[in-house]
Amino acid sequence: MNAIVGFSELLARNYNDKEKLEQFSEIINQRCNDLLDIINEILDIAKIESGQLTAHFEPCNLKLVFENLKDFFKTYQKKIDKQHIDFQTIIEEKLKETVILTDTTKLKQILINLINNAFKFTNEGEISAGCRFGNAHDLVFFVQDTGIGIPAEKHDFIFERFTQVDFEISRSYGGTGLGLPIVKGLVGLLGGRIWLESVPGKGSVFYFSLPYRIPEKTVPLTPETYSPDDLQNIKGTVLVVEDDFYNSEYLREVLSKTGLMLLFASYGKDALEAAKKNKIDLVLMDIRLPDIDGYKVTREIKTFNRDIKIIAQTAYAAPGDEVKALEAGCDDYISKPINKNLLVSKIKDLLQK
């Protein structure tokens, strides 16, 4: 926060120096992202502890999950300058063609958190992540590293909030001590448990189990990551209803790289007018608008045009928004801060229907 305040003041004083402007805005951007991570972690733990986090069970292609992770961490290794560490993903052969029923986003969040820690506390050697069959009813996932390890007496303790094995060591690595409690909460939510084996100086293996449930219908193994380029060939008009200037500009930037026509409204009444006057295929509806709330606007739009697809942009900190959005007639929802690839996949799904 100090860096954000300090460097934004410096920005104003150096507006003629392009190099400094670039350098400062990069620092501000990085620190904002760190702050967003902390806020998200605090919100996650609050939601888990108040029992307000729910899982959306859906068909999940394990091979794709691990492929995504491999790509994600390849880029990440470059960023943190740890390309010398060998990172492998290992999936039991029979599971490669298996689709299980779980919450894919939360499963990825668990694995990303554990692999992130593995990279954080490993300076040499190898990291691997994968899954295999456990007993008849369970799958076992693991993340193994050759890092600094964790003494046996701390194995339970590290799953408690705000705890770190060694404050001095952890301070140099960064972090809040909320990652593992969140992971434990998420694993519990998905019906599994988490444990670890670790030897100080040799490394750690974090394990978690998940119930082995398969969807009733067979589901095709389709790729699940998209980028704005995937919307190049999809035609349609999208109305972005968003009162916050920066959020609106962000959506303009992401969607202007697609083949879609864009319209913008910052008030509920303008959104209604735009939806009446134009042939709109899809609305990205902010829920909190200055005049009429997004649920009401959705209900009204659907009374005169049932075919318009509406995606609600729900606030991260407001559990229950999703249910309310679907009740109001929205076809889908996406929570803020908006992940552009997820947004693209949702738009693509709805406009192709």
For ligand ADP (CB under 6 A), the number of binding residues is: 19
Which one of 134, 177, 191, 211 is in contact with ligand ADP (CB under 6 A)? 177
State in angstroms the smallest separation of the CB of 67 from ligand ADP: 22
Q: Does 175 bind ligand ADP (CB under 6 A)?
A: yes
CA dist 215 and 219 (Å) reads 8
> Residue 150 interacts with ligand ADP (CB under 6 A)?
yes
Of 75 and 172, which has the nearer Cβ to ligand ADP? 172
Euclidean distance between CA atoms 334 and 284, whole angstroms: 9
**Site membership for ligand ADP, residue 179 (CB under 6 A):** yes
Binding segment (CB under 6 A) for ligand ADP, from list 174-182, 286-294, 310-318, 345-353 = 174-182
**Nearby residues of 190 by Cβ (< 8 Å), 6 or more positions away:** 55, 102, 103, 106, 107, 110, 210, 211
Phi-psi region of 236 (alpha: psi -120 to 50; beta: other; left: phi over 0): left
- Non-local (6+) Cβ contacts of 330 within 8 A are 285, 298, 310, 311, 312
Write the interaction track for ligand ADP spanning residues 120-139; mark x where CB under 6 A is met and - where it is not. -x------------------
Which residues, 6 or more positions from 104, have their beta carbon under 8 angstroms from its beta carbon? 58, 60, 65, 224
Amino acid identity, position 80: I
Within residues 185-214, the interface with ligand ADP by CB under 6 A covers: 204
Q: Is 40 in the site for ligand ADP (CB under 6 A)?
A: no
Q: Is 165 in the site for ligand ADP (CB under 6 A)?
A: yes
**CB of 186: closest distance to ligand ADP in angstroms?**
12
Instruction: By CB under 6 A, tell whether 145 contacts ligand ADP.
Output: yes
164, 258, 298, 313: residue in contact with ligand ADP (rule CB under 6 A) = 164
127-161 CB burial, b ≥16 within 10 A, e <16:
bbbbbeebeeeebbbbbbbbbbbbeeebeeebbee
144 touches ligand ADP (CB under 6 A)? no
β-bridge mates for residue 237, sequence order: 261
Is there binding between residue 147 and ligand ADP (CB under 6 A)?
Answer: yes
CB of 251 to ligand ADP, least distance (A): 31
Contact by Cβ (8 Å): 71, 38 = no
Residue 272 as a binder of ligand ADP (CB under 6 A): the answer is no
CB of residue 47 to ligand ADP, shortest distance in Å: 17
Gyration radius from the chain CA atoms? 22
Question: Is 59 within 8 Å of 221 (Cβ atoms)?
Answer: no
- C-beta of 89 vs 314, nearer to ligand ADP: 89
Nearest alpha-carbon partner for 185 in 117, 127, 103, 119 = 103
Q: Which of 54, 169, 181, 38 is nearest to 114 (CA)?
A: 181
x/- site string to ligand ADP, residues 61 to 100, per CB under 6 A? ----------------------------------------
- Interface residues toward ligand ADP, by CB under 6 A: 117-118, 121, 145, 147-150, 158, 164-165, 170, 175-180, 204
